[in-house]
Amino acid sequence: MTTPRMDAFWMPFTANRDFKQNPRLLSRAEGMHYWTPEGRQVLDGTAGLWCVNAGHARPRIVEAIARQAATLDFAPPFQMAHPLAFELAERLTELTPPGLNRVFFTNSGSESVETALKIAIAYQRLRGEGQRTRLIGRERGYHGVNFAGTAVGGMGPNRKMFGTHVAGVDHLRHTHDLQRNAFTQGQPEHGAELADDLERLVALHDASTIAAVIVEPMAGSTGVLLPPKGYLQRLRQICDKHGIVLIFDEVITGFGRLGSPFAAQHYDVVPDMITAAKGVTNGTIPMGVVFAKQEIHDAFMQGPPGIELAHGYTYSSHPMACAAALATLDTYAEEELLTRAARMEGKLQSALHTLKGLPNLVDIRNTGLVGALEFAPRPGAAPGRRAFEVFLGAWNKGVLLRAAGDNIAISPPLIINDSQIDQIVSTLAEVIPTVE
């Protein structure tokens, strides 16, 4: 296969000039593997982009998409609907923590975040607290790339080129503490007190101005940062104390990544809303979801009849996305994939931690079927250069991983087996010593 012309496509989150000089192309996928146009097999150690939880080209999902395209390719979601949307919403609420039983459909994680933040502000207004418009995110958080998501996000490179974003936003301190928690297996012991940073922001801004706090229960895109034991519970308590809506961004952790359907169940903390996407359709058709507590939903169902929430998207509850999601849920259920990460966690943990002591490796983190290796920055080089070279080395040896700053993230499909975990780790063991 000849390499296509590459001038027109402006690639997202990519070093375009470098990539187009030495492209890394994928042309086929099945199960745990990709294939390049030349026929080289590559083990998928990233579940695509944290999304292909059941593995690639699953027949039930493929058939559902094709069947739906031939039956009802599109239906307008404003003042109209189709049956699959209601069926899917009911199925999804069977997986959520108690009380999170209302579903709003979007098309991506970014849109789910925007939706949840708008709902939170509107909800405060409906309950007579219209002055609550401030949003609180967290340093090193990632909440998509729309304006509000970028504003509450806390990853500097994602923010610096885009002006002031959305006004009235502040950030909690991040929870990463190499000095106390390096090479922890599972949740870190130290750092629950960092949740009290929310009290500092309450004192600074006054609780009466704060609508919502949004955090990833486990921060993924920044390099897999686990919450310290007790941290999320303390955050829930402070939000309850001050009437602040708590939103969990579970775009990465939703649908089995940690060994429970959602991280809220894994950590035993129930937020007021959950944002999700990625794994809901196994990455096949774009779709996002916002789960809201019934009391939030019901606050909008007052007053005279009419449109209660002036918000939505042309492709909200797209029929093909709904068909893909329903087939995905069936696949998860048949193969018990939403809890499989809990059974595989020990294998991934023991394998990853054998890498301790390799050159420039300053931390290893893991939980469920997700892990990260953190490297010391290379003096005088661009941030993340060492991790990117490890990524390239693994790619050349037939394993796809993800470079995230100074970290390598591992988040394979939930169908991964022991020998494939060993392949990922043995590849890293070969590559890391070659990177100066």
Q: Where are the domains of the chain?
A: 16-53+337-434, 63-335
Q: Residue 332 in contact with residue 92, Cβ under 8 Å?
A: no
Which pLDDT does position 357 carry in this prediction? 97
Which residues have CB under 8 Å from 119's CB, separation 6+?
A: 104, 273, 290, 292, 296, 309, 311
Burial zone of 209 (CB within 10 Å; 0-12 exposed, 13-18 middle, 19+ buried): middle
Q: Residue 300 in contact with residue 22, Cβ under 8 Å?
A: no
16-53+337-434 shares its CATH topology with 63-335: no
Which pLDDT does position 3 carry in this prediction? 76
Which CATH number is 16-53+337-434 given? 3.90.1150.10
Amino acid at position 379, single letter:
P
What topology does CATH give the domain 63-335? Aspartate Aminotransferase; domain 2 (3.40.640)
374/180 Cα distance (integer angstroms): 15
193/172 Cα distance (integer angstroms): 12
Token duo for residue 102: 């209302």
Enumerate residue ranges in the chain where pLDDT < 50. none
Which pLDDT does position 1 carry in this prediction? 60
User: Considering the entire predicted model, what is its pTM?
Assistant: 0.97
Residue 430 CB-half CA count within 13 A = 14
120/218 Cα distance (integer angstroms): 21
